[in-house]
Amino acid sequence: MDLFETLGKRRSYRGAYRYVDIPRRDLMRIVQAGLDAPSGRNHQTTQFVIVDDREILKQIGEQPEATRALQDARAMVACVIDRQPHAVAVGETFEIEDCAAAVENMLLAITALGYASCWMDGWLRRHGNADKVGELLGLPDYKLVRVLLPLGIAAEASEPVVKKPFEQRAWFNRYGG
In this predicted model, what pLDDT tens digit does every residue of 101-144 receive, in sequence order? 999 999 999 999 999 999 999 999 999 999 999 999 999 999 99
**Is position 53 within any domain?**
yes
Domain count, the chain: 1
pLDDT in tens, 31-68: 999 999 999 888 899 999 999 999 999 999 999 999 99
Mean pLDDT for the chain overall: 93
Task: Return the CATH number at 143.
Answer: 3.40.109.10
Run of H or E including 75: strand 75-82
Residue 106 to residue 113: CA distance in whole angstroms:
10
Strand partners, 154: 17
Q: What does DSSP assign to residue 27?
A: H
Q: Which domain holds residue 45?
A: 3-157
Q: CA dist 159 to 1, 7, 9, Å?
A: 19, 15, 10
Three-state SS for 43?
coil
**Is position 18 within any domain?**
yes
**Is position 70 within any domain?**
yes
- Contact predicate 30/79, CB 8 Å: no
pLDDT in tens, 8-30: 888 889 999 999 999 999 999 99
**Is position 22 within any domain?**
yes
